[in-house]
A and B are shown apart, each in its own frame.
Chain A
Amino acid sequence: MPRVRRVVARAVTHALVGLEPRKVEVEAHLQPGVPGFAIVGLADRACQEAKHRVRSGVLSASLQWPLNRRLTVNLAPAALRKEGSGFDLPISLAVLAATRQVPAERLAGHAAVGELALDGRIRPVAGALAVAEGARRAGIERVVCAAPSAPEVALAGVKPVPVSHLCEAVAYLRGEIDAPHYEPFAEDALDGAYVPDLADVRGQERGRRALEITAAGGHNLLLSGPPGTGKTMLARRLPGILPPLTRDEALEVTRIHSVAGLLPPERPLVTVPPFRAPHHGASAPAVVGGGSSPRPGEVSLAHRGVLLLDELPEFRRDVLESLRQPLEDGVVWVARVGGNVRFPARFQLVGTMNLCPCGARGDPAVECSCTPQRLAAYRERLSRALLDRFDLAVSMPRPRAAELAAPPGEPSSVVRSRIEAARERLRSEPPRRTEAASALLSDAVDRLPLSGRGRLRVARVARTIAALAGSPLVEEAHVAEALSYRLPAELPS
């Protein structure tokens, strides 16, 4: 039997399929022959370009590049598509191990992720959290990564080896230096991103009240009214009154934001509900996720938080219709030839719209110049099916000057404490409807234009209102208030 020569070295890393890490072994093989460097194993463009970065990085670190040898790097499993520049570091470590500049046995206990600069410095890449979670599942205890990625790696429950230069990684693997020190960040001390406060909103009491109910019940909210009445301003204050994320939720959200490369280095853990407000020109893949290598869309980036669609009717129809499924299921499935990718997308939707295309409707000072046809066309852009997903609809008429001079409203922190209490009540013992309240609801279905689904939504909102009031029962008044937030019938017929 021929003897196996130790010319192959291995490093471990993880590729991402959607949010899921898949283990990838990076094999480097040297053989005598015409000098060359080939990367095989379905590597994409960025990954192919690793050749140049790796060679320059190794030389810049005053290490040996194999001369007069043919170098083949294989990314296994070969059938899995590999993307991005995070393979730079594992490839260079595998090459260095194959040339005996790094001890191969020691490298085996590590996973690695990071991009190489031409001068050998190591840069962070998106998705380090998910890669590190893959390492933990594979039973690997340490991940060599760029220093800014260290907090993400630590979140996954594995030890980060933060290195800033290839030299440092090599010295560490050779045992010349100890693992560079990593100071865990204090999760409690993380201050959330700046969220605008509800105290800034003057007047618009009805809008504020609807926002509070929306937050307490996890509902979807539609705000309509002429321009400049504070619809967007109000919507932006919803994340600030939502309870902070639990640790599990925070990890879940952080993973998505990490994969999207949106994690700010100073806040490695997302602890406040995210807020996303895509522009109305956004495409359907940008909003629900997709692409040839599926990436999370805005609905997933808003997971456990708020998705604001400002000027709802201006969005493309296909974009709006594609929201229906994630709104119902709380998850997006992106189907690709290579398989399905699942992105969580449990978000609260807030939509804003004018009452007509010219914007003057609802404003006593201006006369609307829209023709009935134009008005109908504007409203037909929103399907009833989508509108039915809004639990509360509030018209925000133009405030008079006296209203703007009103004192500041309650700050977000006060409102949030009420919301937390209401959520607890909804969780532990949701209020039950009294017979009188049920009778009122049935009466309303007969007399108002209210569909079966509309009835269901009114009932849910009424339960939230009762919980906010601290009542064990859903009374008539709660149903009546919920009815006042129903979708107006003259929105598309």
Chain B
Amino acid sequence: MTEIRRIRRADPTFPALLAAIHDPPSALFLRGSGSPTLLSEPSVAVVGARSCSSYGRAVGRMLGRELARAGLVVVSGLARGIDGEAHRGALEAGGTTVAVLGCGVDRDYPAAHAELARRICERGLVVSEYEPGVEPAPWRFPARNRIIAGLAQATVVVEARERSGALITADFALEEGREVLAVPGEITSALSAGTNALLRLGATPVTRAEDVLDALGIAPRAPSEPEVGETAAALLARLRDGALTGDELARASGLDPAAVSVALVELELAGLVTLDDGVARALPASV
């Protein structure tokens, strides 16, 4: 494990955005190879529910990837579900990402994300206001959320129930006057109740990664849809109308299941489709 560094509020490297919030931490502990100045670079928080749907997972991953590709630092909380997907997406794009913990940075919490934390540390940072060795505790997480919101210029909530920790992050962001965006979900799904409520209150809806860039005033790069074969393109067009299982795709397109599998892997490798529990889902057209 790399050495744990500490930056105090008075240090010049302490992120200005975070210092500007109403109760900034007195110091931050950093783990990872990333420079402390990483925390001052343009960044977006991508947060959401721990128990999320495959839709939420796919969107979280896509946003992490596309925002990192656009050069933004992706900030999240290393939790299971959306947080983890956002970090993974950013890593997939070869970008940098920052995980903010509600415990000491030497604690891998949750334990299942120990490997993810290690990969984040290769280029990015794992940060916390707590001393190394501090145990995770439920009452520390809201405080952690204020740092996530404080570091980022904008906060995107991907999927959240009505009473979700992600909404606390959004509240902090609103209090500090930062941009809050939310990903619309099905109005019948309890998992989207929180995000839909945010939208009702006036949060900017996110239907593509460009929406986030627009909100930050960053010009998106020219869209470049990866080239795929004819069959794959036809299946992608069908999937844009809604997620389908492999068998449903085969029946709808008249192709045999082997050909569908081949095309789906092609689309997956091109980053246009995710496969989750046998259901193929088209990702929103990328930046």
Residues of chain A touching chain B, judged by Cβ–Cβ distance below 8 Å, are 203-206, 208-209, 224-225, 355, 361-362, 367-368, 370-372, 375-376, 394-397, 399-400, 403, 443-444, 447-448, 465, 477, 480-481, 483-485, 488, 493
Secondary structure type dominating chain B contacts: helix
B265 touches A371 (CB 8 A): no
B250 touches A481 (CB 8 A): no
B81 touches A484 (CB 8 A): no
Across chains A and B, which 5 residue pairs bring their CB atoms closest together, nearest first? A395-B278, A484-B261, A205-B257, A480-B265, A397-B245
The 0/1 profile, CB within 8 Å of A marked 1, for residues 212-250 of chain B is 000000000000000000000000000000000111101
**In whole angstroms, what is the CA distance A378 to B246 when docked?**
25
Minimum distance in angstroms from A188 CB to a CB of chain B: 36
Minimum distance in angstroms from B228 CB to a CB of chain A: 12
Known: A376-B80, A397-B277, A400-B248. A370 touches B265 (CB 8 A): no
**In whole angstroms, what is the CA distance A371 to B79 when docked?**
13
The 0/1 profile, CB within 8 Å of A marked 1, for residues 185-219 of chain B is 00001100000000000000000000000000000
Closest to B52 in A: A372
A206 touches B257 (CB 8 A): yes
Minimum distance in angstroms from A478 CB to a CB of chain B: 8
Closest to A446 in B: B269
Enumerate B43-96 residues with CB–CB distance to A below 8 Å. 50-51, 80-81, 92
Residues of B within 8 A of A225 (CB): 277-278
- In the complex, B266 has a CB within 8 A of chain A: yes
The 0/1 profile, CB within 8 Å of A marked 1, for residues 246-287 of chain B is 111011000011101110111011000001111100000000
A209 touches B51 (CB 8 A): no
Residues of A within 8 A of B81 (CB): 372
**In whole angstroms, what is the CA distance A129 to B246 when docked?**
48
- In the complex, B115 has a CB within 8 A of chain A: yes
B258 touches A481 (CB 8 A): yes
Q: Which of B115, B248, B265, B269 contacts A481 (CB 8 A)?
A: B265
Residues of A within 8 A of B80 (CB): 372, 376
Chain B interface residue count, CB cutoff 8 Å, equals 32
Residues of B within 8 A of A444 (CB): 265, 269
A372 touches B51 (CB 8 A): yes
**In whole angstroms, what is the CA distance A493 to B277 when docked?**
16
A206 touches B277 (CB 8 A): no
Enumerate B79-126 residues with CB–CB distance to A below 8 Å. 80-81, 92, 110, 112, 115
Closest to A449 in B: B88
Q: Which of B50, B190, B246, B278 contacts A367 (CB 8 A)?
A: B190
Known: A206-B261, A395-B277. A480 touches B247 (CB 8 A): no
Known: A206-B250, A376-B80, A484-B264. A448 touches B245 (CB 8 A): no
A206 touches B246 (CB 8 A): yes
Residues of chain B touching chain A, judged by Cβ–Cβ distance below 8 Å, are 50-51, 80-81, 92, 110, 112, 115, 189-190, 245-248, 250-251, 256-258, 260-262, 264-266, 268-269, 275-279
A394 touches B278 (CB 8 A): yes
Known: A362-B279, A394-B278, A395-B278. A206 touches B247 (CB 8 A): yes
Closest to A379 in B: B112
Known: A376-B80, A403-B251, A443-B269. A477 touches B51 (CB 8 A): no
Residues of A within 8 A of B251 (CB): 205, 403
30 cross-chain CB contacts under 8 A: A203-B247, A205-B246, A205-B251, A205-B257, A206-B245, A206-B247, A206-B260, A206-B261, A206-B278, A209-B258, A209-B261, A224-B278, A368-B51, A372-B50, A372-B81, A375-B51, A376-B80, A376-B112, A394-B278, A396-B278, A399-B247, A444-B265, A444-B269, A480-B261, A481-B265, A483-B265, A484-B246, A484-B262, A488-B276, A488-B277
B264 touches A362 (CB 8 A): no
**In whole angstroms, what is the CA distance A403 to B92 when docked?**
37
Residues of B within 8 A of A375 (CB): 51
**In whole angstroms, what is the CA distance A488 to B268 when docked?**
13
**In whole angstroms, what is the CA distance A399 to B50 when docked?**
28
**In whole angstroms, what is the CA distance A444 to B264 when docked?**
13
Residues of B within 8 A of A484 (CB): 246, 261-262, 264-265, 275
**In whole angstroms, what is the CA distance A225 to B256 when docked?**
21
Minimum distance in angstroms from A351 CB to a CB of chain B: 16
Which of B51, B110, B277, B279 counts the most A-chain CB atoms under 10 A from its CB? B277
A477 touches B278 (CB 8 A): no
**In whole angstroms, what is the CA distance A397 to B279 when docked?**
7
Minimum distance in angstroms from B173 CB to a CB of chain A: 24
Closest to A364 in B: B279
A403 touches B269 (CB 8 A): no
A205 touches B250 (CB 8 A): yes
Which of A361, A485, A493 counts the most B-chain CB atoms under 10 A from its CB? A493
A403 touches B247 (CB 8 A): yes
Residues of B within 8 A of A480 (CB): 261-262, 265-266
B262 touches A477 (CB 8 A): yes
**In whole angstroms, what is the CA distance A372 to B161 when docked?**
14
A481 touches B247 (CB 8 A): no
Q: Which of B51, B247, B265 contacts A204 (CB 8 A)?
A: B247
Closest to B261 in A: A484
Residues of B within 8 A of A403 (CB): 247-248, 251
Closest to B190 in A: A367
B278 touches A397 (CB 8 A): yes
Residues of B within 8 A of A400 (CB): 248
**In whole angstroms, what is the CA distance A224 to B275 when docked?**
14
A370 touches B261 (CB 8 A): no
**In whole angstroms, what is the CA distance A484 to B256 when docked?**
14
**In whole angstroms, what is the CA distance A370 to B53 when docked?**
12
Q: Which of A209, A361, A367, A485 contacts B277 (CB 8 A)?
A: A361
B268 touches A355 (CB 8 A): no
**In whole angstroms, what is the CA distance A182 to B261 when docked?**
56
Residues of A within 8 A of B265 (CB): 444, 480-481, 483-484
Closest to A447 in B: B269
